[in-house]
Structure 1
Amino acid sequence: MDLGLKGRRVLITGGTKGIGRSCAEVFAAEGADVAICARDAAGVTETVDALKAKGVNAFGNGVDVADKAALEQWVSASADALGGIDIVVANVSALAVADDEAAWEAGFAVDMMHSVRLVNAAMPYLEKSDAASITLVSSVSGREIDFTGPAYGAFKAALVHYAQGQAVKLAPQGIRANTVSPGNTYFEDGIWQNIEENMPELFAEAMSLNPMGRMAGPDEIARGVVFLASPASSFTTGTNLVIDGALTKGVQL
């Protein structure tokens, strides 16, 4: 299937590892030009070089997405580098899973407000695109109560609500907005590798809840993100795509 991504301009926050890096690689493999950001400037440089090696235009900056001015500057610079913006993917999470006020503050600043600010900053460019889409990475923790802290799940649920509202608001302009809710996703230097090495009992408990007997790889999540964001999914908006290997038990109606 041709996803219609060749020559499209894509912005991804948190694009140096895990789901974000896999998204960047899949978009590039489909012929899209890609801009990324992450706090690790060296990782951004390495990732941009790897994307360019796929024959596409790529751009990136080291950015703390909780910094409003820095995030907006990156969006503007990315639009200049790529010649516009067709697709944005808000992927960064603070992963604030503790049950304290610091987790609420971090989740609001990073998970919630970076997504809102990314959309707002990109909107003047998306309004000029004939295939504009917004995809926010949520979590199955936003669908049900699990062992993560209350702030993490609450903000992931809020992202789904925000995207649904944007979908309705922006539909007359042809701008789509969706979310993807991954289940447990394992990758090098990710949270689940850290839990496996430092909290083996919790890791074993989490694994036991996965009916497929394993966690997702970031590429498995990325392929869903890329399809949902692509012109091939042109009539899909206001949807929350759950990719969790049947981890969650609730029926999504």
Structure 2
Amino acid sequence: MDLALKGKTVLITGGSRGIGFGCAEVFAQEGANLHLVSVNEERLTEAKRILDMTYHVDVRITVADLSKSEAIAQVAEACPMPDILINNAGAIPAGTLDKVTEAVWREAWDLKVFGYINMTRDYYGRFRNRGYGTIVNVIGMAGENPDSSYVAGSAGNAAIMAFTKTMGGTSMNDGIRIVGVNPGAVLTDRIFTMLRTIAEEQKGDPEKWPDYLANLPMGRAATVRETADVVAFLASERAGYISGTIVTVDGGHASNNSVF
């Protein structure tokens, strides 16, 4: 299926690794040009090097901390009018209410929750003035399947879900689509390394890391590519009448109430 993304400009926050970089690869394979944003200059530069070498599309980068409101203007100056915005930056720490301090909670929400809101606020206005644009928010399964041991993330993801549905419910009146993707457990490099470390510490063998995924559908996590493909489809013209919708990529895990 041709997603009609060739020549489009895609702005991806948190684009230097994990799901963000996976999305960058899929869009690049479809012929889209990229603008990646991350707070980590070293990882961002390496991501650009790999994409340049592999896909031969235009790849630009901006180092910015999107937890800071002023960084939104910095990004907008560097990439004023993309066709597609992928909000992906931010990982909210796990912990119960008594373990997550107010400072940690606010810092995490400043990046993921308010970062998504502020990026959407700025680019919505730009897209509306132009007459079209698409925003995809990469959120997280805990927003629909909350977990008290991930209280800040569950609440934050639920807030972004509500924001996505609220904005996407009327945005097509301005020619804009706003959609969301809720990944469940995704086997990013970071998660893979973490599980190997845990397996070595607890089981004495890092190769036993798949044991920790046994309760998931098919006994595995989603791949980065499986998640990124959904993001790319929703961002494309093939999903042209979809807005205010959130697609969950978790193998049905959120629906069976099992414990990960």
**Shared fold by TM > 0.5?**
yes
The equivalent of 1:162 in structure 2 is 163
The yes-or-no answer on 1:78 pairing with 2:75 is no
1:98-247 correspondence runs (5 A): 98-99=95-96, 100-101=100-101, 102-129=103-130, 131-146=132-147, 148-188=149-189, 190-191=190-191, 193-198=193-198, 206-247=212-253
Larger Rg: 2
CA contact (8 A) 1:14 1:92 kept: yes
Q: Deviations over 1:66-111 (max 9, x none)?
A: 12212321122023xxxx2111011112332123123421332111
Cα distance in 2, alignment partners of residues 236 and 206 from structure 1 = 35
Matches of 1:105 and 1:247, distance apart in 2:
29
Residues 1:62 and 1:148: Cα distance change in structure 2 (over 3 Å): farther
Q: What corresponds to 1:39 in structure 2?
A: 39
Are residues 1:97 and 2:94 paired? yes
Kindly indicate whether the alpha-carbon contact (under 8 Å) linking 2:34 and 2:60 is maintained by their aligned counterparts in 1.
yes
- For 1:60, the equivalent position in structure 2 comes to 61
Amino acid at match of 1:33: N
Give the ranges of 4+ consecutive aligned residues of structure 1 lying more than 6 Å apart after TM superposition.
none
Structure 2 residue ranges without an equivalent (≥5): 203-208
CA RMSD of the aligned region, Å?
2.2
Q: CA deviation at 1:35?
A: 0.5
- Indicate how the Cα distance of structure 1 residues 65 and 167 shifts in structure 2: closer, same or farther if over 3 A, else same: same
For the residues of structure 2 that align with 1:191 and 1:173, how far apart are their CA atoms? 39
Equivalent pairs: percent with the same residue? 28
Structure 2 Cα separation of the partners of residues 161 and 124 of structure 1: 20
How far apart, in 1, do the equivalents of 2:114 and 2:20 lie? 18
TM-aligned CA deviation for residue 237 of structure 1: 0.7
Q: Quote the offset at 1:145 in angstroms.
A: 2.7
Q: How many residues align?
A: 246
Cα distance, 1:246 vs structure 2: 1.9
Retained in 2: the 8 A contact 1:186–1:193? no
In the superposition, the TM-score normalised over structure 2's length comes to 0.87
Distance 2:122 2:82 in 1: 11
The code of the aligned residue for 1:4 comes to A
Give the Cα–Cα distance (whole angstroms) in 1 for the partners of residues 149 and 126 of structure 2. Answer: 36
Report if aligned partners of 1:180, 1:240 keep a CA contact under 8 Å in 2.
Answer: yes
Query: For 1:130 and 1:32, how far apart are their aligned partners in 2?
Result: 20
Q: 1:139 to 1:205 in 2, by over 3 A?
A: farther
Q: Distance in 1 between matches of 2:232 and 2:77?
A: 22
- Conservation of the 8 A alpha-carbon contact between 1:61 and 1:74: yes
- Residues 237-246 or 44-53, more deviating: 44-53
Query: How many Å separate the matches in 1 of 2:37 and 2:135?
Result: 17
Counterpart of 1:2?
A: 2
Using the alignment, how far apart are the partners of 1:161 and 1:119 within structure 2? 14
Distance apart, 1:65 and its partner CA: 1.4
1:12 aligns with 2:12: yes
Q: Contact conserved, 1:185 with 1:192, CA < 8 A, in 2?
A: no
Q: Secondary structure at the match of 2:188?
A: coil
